[in-house]
Structure 1
């Protein structure tokens, strides 16, 4: 079995792959469109070959200006292969080793998209099982389940009590809030970064990430209580595909008062006021308070994502 990145000569064989399992995958049209945009690249597209026949592919994705891939979007091994998990683990390990040798600071995560209620579908559970084993075999042993949610105008604007006021602020104020909100967060990635890097580096990483997103910096707001104390922050943002909730959080001393609803309502209204027809969001299933806030605000779950990543260094 040969594991290698593709060249232009492999393109036809890469795009003819069809995944017939109930998991998210990348079809030919999307791959070709984003290949032209530099979000998929031949050197980020790896195949498994058996005597010259393509039996597997792994499609890593990044933003147009990314130096290294950010996430694995699609992993497929021919069902006729005897041990799909073993072949997939070898394919992933080969790709990850190459990216590390090229200077990638961290192994890209694996983002496996699933339908809502996937655990009730034997085909879906089987598809997750071998892919999960492959991810673990390649060193992506940390597993988190995330909800993808959407708001559309037919949901109506979420109610807000009107207790908070919102205003722009300087970068240093947002950085200070990122640092304070990280402490006690229920978000898995934030907790992992805190453990590995501490509050200051975690805050800087969060802020740099959102500064690099397609959303505009002048959308960002701090939230203030009636007495002028800072309660939290609300960051409307965007992905390459849609407007996005981005980031919101309440500082520890104001948690438990329902302010999360106010922050989410503000982000939703800011996007809706510009005529946005779709707002996306994500949260961990383990972050039950945030998931409940999305439900109250009229966001509906549209898919589930299993995120496989390497443990913190």
Structure 2
């Protein structure tokens, strides 16, 4: 470690971060310069490891302006041994008040792609060495105009009556199928999208749809066409058989509003939900693996 210098950036050094080539250029991401301009990235919460003057590790913690939570590690790249990355994280954690969540963004199907694993295994090993614990994986999927499956006619759909009806149905759904942007909602506003989605999307009530079987509610979906991009913010079921048609209904609502792409996030272990997304025409865009401090149980 004697030949490695670890330190935060100082104002005016933003180009140093980008002097390290992007090891995963195929991933959609906000550029570091754009993040600095928007205020989410800051030099003092960006750390680098330098070997002979060359950046061999970089870590950028993100906190959008106005967010109520703590910064989280959004970018972490390593072209050195995991021990170097772990030392970088430990130094930053000490300076920033303790370890924070790390969302490792990865290309779709990354476990089956040796060339990707060769890039991501070192920073993930460094996170573990620095005391972070893997807590789960979420997949982002995208629909881009594939024809939707035909409906059976069994279910009817209507707009939600009001926020009270949405909240009452949400309270009955133990584990929603789709929660898009749940990490951002929690970090930025302290909102649990699974239990209080309207706190995150208060203006979306008119877009919500209720699935009915013989007049009884069996599912609820919250399309959001006016978010940062068209997405299915929430999809929850009281009858799993309604999943295919409720999912297709959400896409229809967004497509009718002009959406050419629809985004949906799902936990990787929800195999049946992922399969239904794929049958509806969604394709995986990326994965995000959460590493959290050992004391973080959320």
> Do Structure 1 and Structure 2 share a fold, with TM-score over 0.5?
yes
Query: 2:208 touches 2:221 (CA, 8 Å); kept in 1?
Result: yes
1:274-295 per-residue CA deviation (whole Å, 9 max, x = no partner) reads 1111111121231011111101
Aligned match of 1:193: none
What is the Cα deviation at residue 51 of structure 1? 7.1
More helix by share: 1
Instruction: Report the Cα distance in structure 1 between the residues aligned to 2:15 and 2:267, rounded to whole angstroms.
Output: 37
Instruction: Report the Cα distance in structure 1 between the residues aligned to 2:297 and 2:278, rounded to whole angstroms.
Output: 31
Query: 2:47 touches 2:58 (CA, 8 Å); kept in 1?
Result: yes
Q: Secondary structure, in 3 states, of the residue corresponding to 2:222?
A: strand
Assess, with a 3 A threshold, how the Cα gap between structure 1 residues 26 and 204 changes in structure 2: closer, same or farther.
closer
What is the Cα deviation at residue 138 of structure 1? 2.7
Aligned match of 2:144: 152
Aligned match of 1:198: none
Instruction: Report the Cα distance in structure 2 between the residues aligned to 1:215 and 1:3, rounded to whole angstroms.
Output: 45
Instruction: Report the Cα distance in structure 1 between the residues aligned to 2:202 and 2:46, rounded to whole angstroms.
Output: 24
Q: How many residues align?
A: 283
Aligned match of 1:312: 297
Instruction: Report the Cα distance in structure 2 between the residues aligned to 1:219 and 1:63, rounded to whole angstroms.
Output: 26
Instruction: Report the Cα distance in structure 2 between the residues aligned to 1:241 and 1:249, rounded to whole angstroms.
Output: 22
Where does 1:92-111 land on structure 2 (aligned, <5 Å)?
92-100=89-97, 107-111=100-104
Aligned match of 2:187: none
Aligned match of 1:242: 229
1:41-83 per-residue CA deviation (whole Å, 9 max, x = no partner) reads 3233222345765432112334443244564332112x3x4x2
Assess, with a 3 A threshold, how the Cα gap between structure 1 residues 182 and 134 changes in structure 2: closer, same or farther.
farther
Aligned match of 1:224: 212
Assess, with a 3 A threshold, how the Cα gap between structure 1 residues 166 and 6 changes in structure 2: closer, same or farther.
farther
Assess, with a 3 A threshold, how the Cα gap between structure 1 residues 261 and 187 changes in structure 2: closer, same or farther.
closer
What is the Cα deviation at residue 308 of structure 1? 2.6
Instruction: Report the Cα distance in structure 1 between the residues aligned to 2:203 and 2:149, rounded to whole angstroms.
Output: 21
Assess, with a 3 A threshold, how the Cα gap between structure 1 residues 45 and 68 changes in structure 2: closer, same or farther.
farther
Q: Secondary structure, in 3 states, of the residue corresponding to 1:206?
A: coil
Q: Secondary structure, in 3 states, of the residue corresponding to 2:136?
A: strand
Query: 1:8 touches 1:42 (CA, 8 Å); kept in 2?
Result: yes
Select 1:133's aligned residue among 105, 117, 125. 125
Query: Are 2:82 and 1:90 equivalent residues in the alignment?
Result: no
CA RMSD, aligned part only? 3.4
Aligned match of 2:184: none
Instruction: Report the Cα distance in structure 2 between the residues aligned to 1:3 and 1:210, rounded to whole angstroms.
Output: 43
List gaps (5 residues or longer) in structure 2. 181-189
Select 2:268's aligned residue among 266, 278, 285. 285
Query: 1:213 touches 1:238 (CA, 8 Å); kept in 2?
Result: no
List gaps (5 residues or longer) in structure 1. 190-201
Instruction: Report the Cα distance in structure 1 between the residues aligned to 2:227 and 2:76, rounded to whole angstroms.
Output: 22
Query: 1:210 touches 1:246 (CA, 8 Å); kept in 2?
Result: no
Instruction: Report the Cα distance in structure 1 between the residues aligned to 2:24 and 2:277, rounded to whole angstroms.
Output: 29
What is the Cα deviation at residue 250 of structure 1? 0.6
Aligned match of 2:172: 180
Where does 1:41-120 land on structure 2 (aligned, <5 Å)?
41-49=42-50, 54-68=55-69, 71-77=72-78, 79=79, 81=80, 83=81, 85-100=82-97, 107-116=100-109, 118-120=110-112
